[in-house]
Structure 1
Amino acid sequence: MSGKRTGNRVEDIAPARLALLNSGAAEATTLTECLAVDFAALMRATLPGIGEDAAVIMESAQGTGISKRMVLAAALVCDPLGKGAIERLQVHPSDTVRGWACFVIGAAQDMPLAARLEAIRPLADDHRFGVREWSWMAVRPHLAADLDQAIVHLSKWTKAPSERLRRFACEAIRPRGVWCTHIGALKQHPEKALPVLEPLRADAVPYVQDSVGNWLNDAAKDQPGWVRALCARWIAENPDPATARICKRALRSIDCKS
C-alpha cells in the first residue's frame, strides 16, 4: 500500500504526488491528501508575492488543526492580495487555495449576508467535495448569527438546478453539524428550518437526501418527537422512495434506542 494515493495515511502518499499537491499543481483526491498539504510550501509556490513572512507564520502553525490553519491562511493572504483576493483564489487549480478563498469570504468585514452568500456560491458549487465543505464551514457563523434571514435566502437555494447548491442550503445550517459549533436555536426549534427542509424532502439526488437525513438525525438528538412526527407526515403525504430514504436516515439514532 505504501506510496499509493488510495492509502489512509500521510506516509502512504508518494513523494512525487505530495510535491504536486504542495506546488498547487494538483487537487487533493482524498481526505488524507487534503490533510497532508503543507500550507507554507503551497503558499510559497502559488502566492510568492505575499512575502516570506506569511509563509513563516504559516509554517509555525503546521501542527495545529486544519480548520484553524485554513482561517490563518486566509488572514495571511487577504491583506497582501487586497480586494482581488477572492477572485484570484477561487479560480486557482489547487482545491486548498480555493478553500482559502472560502475563509476570505467568511472573514470579510461589513459584508451583508446576501452578498456573502452570493460570493460563496461558486465555491459551494465547486467540483471538489473538500471545497464545498469549506464553503459552508466558512460562512456558517454568519448564518447562525442571522438565522431567520439565512433561512429566507437558503430556501431559494433549494430550487437551484445544482444538487451541490441544494445540499449546501441544508448542510450549512445543520443543528449540530460536523467540525463546527452547534446552532442552539435549531436544536431547540428545528421547525424554524422547514422552509429549507420541506422543498428537499423528495430530492432525487442521494447527495442531497443524505444531508436532509443527517439534518433531521441531528435534530432527533434533541427533539425526537418532532422528527418522528415530521417523517410520518412526509411519508403519508409523499410516499416516494427518496422521502423514505431520507426518513430512514433521519430516524436511525432514534430507532437504535428503541
Structure 2
Amino acid sequence: MNEIKRKGARSTKDIPASILEQLNKGEIETANLVEWLAVNQVKLLENVLKESDRMEYLEPILTDIRNLKKQTVNTINEAIGTGILAESILNNDSDILSIISRHKSDLVRCWSAYVIGKNAALSIEEILEQIQFLAADKHFGVREISWLAVRSSILNNLDKSLEILSKWTLNEDENIKRFATEATRPRGVWCEHIDTLKKQPELGLKILESLKSDSSKYVQDSVGNWLNDASKTRPDFVKDLCGKWQIESPTKETAYIVKKALRTIEKS
C-alpha cells in the first residue's frame, strides 16, 4: 500500500532529529504512522505559508487550532485544511489548492483534501471529481483523509454519491476502487455513521456487487468491512448476500470477503 522506500522509526523517540526536521519543513513524506503522528503540523504550516508567501493566513488558522475542543493529528489536520479554504476564499486565492495538493509532504496534501471536501460552493459531482486524484495518492495517510474529508458531503448527497462511486469500482486503480467502499461504509472508522445504509444496506449493492471478487486484498478488506458494518444492524441482508455470492462467485477472493463480512455474525 505504502510505496515509500525509507523505513520509519518504531517509536517517536527513535525518529532521528534530521528526519523530524525534514518532516516539519515538508521536505519529505512520513514513512509510517509513527512519523505521521510525530509531525508538528503548526511548524509545517508555517514553513508552507512562508515558502508560498502567504504568512497572513497563519494567525487565523492558529486561532482555529487553539479553539479546538480536542487537539489530535486529525482534528488539527482538518482545522488547517478548512482554515486554508476560508483564507483562500477571503483572499480570492485560486492557486493555493494546486500548491498544497501537489506538495512533497503527505500531511500538506491531506490539508488539500479538506479544501476540496469542505467547499460549500462545490456540488457533490465536483467534490468527488476533484478528490479522485487524492484518493489514488501513493501515501496511505492521504488516501484515508481523502475519504474522511468528503464523508459528510457523501452523507448529505447519498443517492448521487452512490451512483458516482459505483462507476469508480470499474477503475483499474485499487485505491480508487477502495475509496468507493471505504467512503460509504455504514459505520466506518473515526467518522459519522450513515444511518440510511445501516438500515438499508441494499442501497450499496451497486458498489459492492462489482467488487465481490476483486483481485486486490486492499479492496477485499474494505468490502468485507463494509458488510461487517452492515451486519450489526441488518444481519439478514449480509447473510443472504454472502450466501448468494458463494454460489455465484466460488472464488478465493469472494470466500475471503465473505469470511470477513460474517465475522461479527459468527461470534454472536
**Alignment TM-score, normalising by the size of structure 1:** 0.93
CA-CA distance at 1:251 after TM superposition: 0.6
Q: Take 1:179 and 1:127, find their aligned partners in 2: how far apart are those partners?
A: 22
Equivalences for residues 161-172 of structure 1 within 5 A: 161-172=172-183
2:143 is matched with 132
Letter in 1 for 2:45: M
Partner of 1:64: 71
CA, structure 1 residues 59+114, in 2 after alignment: closer, same or farther (shift >3 Å)?
A: closer
User: In the alignment, which residue of structure 1 is the partner of 2:100?
Assistant: 89
C-alpha distance in 2 between matches for 1:116 and 1:59: 25
Unaligned runs of 5+ in 2: 1-6
The offset of 1:39, in angstroms, is 1.0
Across the two proteins, how many residue pairs are aligned to each other? Answer: 253
Query: Quick one: structure 1 residues 59 and 72, their matched pair in 2 at CA, closer, same or farther if it must change by over 3 Å?
Result: closer
Does residue 1:217 correspond to 2:228, yes or no? yes
Q: Tell me the residue number matched to 1:38.
A: 40
Note the alpha carbon deviations across 1:178-220, whole angstroms, 9 max, x for none. 1100000000110010000000001011000000000001111
Q: Tell me the equivalent position of 2:4.
A: none
Coordinate RMSD, CA, aligned: 1.7
- Residue in 1 that maps onto 2:54: 50
After the TM superposition, which of the residue ranges 28-37 and 198-207 deviates more from structure 2?
A: 28-37
Deviations 1:122-142 (A, max 9, x none): 100000011000000000101
Distance 1:46 1:161 in 2: 33
* Aligned mates of 1:245, 1:168 — CA distance in 2: 19
Letter paired with 1:50: R
- The C-alpha deviation readout for 1:83-142, integer Å capped at 9, x for no partner, is 222211110000000000000001112211111101001100000011000000000101
| 2:120 is aligned with 1:116 | no
Deviates more, 1:204-213 or 1:24-33: 24-33
Matching residue's letter, 1:74: G
State the alpha-carbon separation in 2 of the partners of residues 248 and 15 from structure 1. 44
- How far did residue 37 of structure 1 move? 0.9
Q: 1:186 aligns with which of 184, 193, 197?
A: 197
**Would the aligned equivalents of 2:27 and 2:105 in 1 still touch at CA under 8 Å?**
yes
Give, as a single letter, the amino acid of the residue that structure 1 aligns with 2:24. N
The residue correspondences of 1:10-49 to structure 2 (distance < 5 A) are 10-48=12-50, 49=53
Change (3 A) 1:55 1:223: closer
Question: 1:53, CA displacement in angstroms?
Answer: 1.8
Q: CA deviation at 1:11?
A: 2.3
TM-score relative to the length of structure 2? 0.90
Match of 2:237 among 201, 209, 226: 226
Q: Identity over aligned residues, as a percent?
A: 40
Deviation at 1:55, TM superposition (A): 6.4
Bigger mean CA offset, 31-40 vs 77-86: 77-86
Conserved? CA contact 2:61–2:79, under 8 Å: no
Corresponding position of 2:8: 5
| Aligned mates of 1:220, 1:16 — CA distance in 2 | 47
Look up the match of 2:3.
none
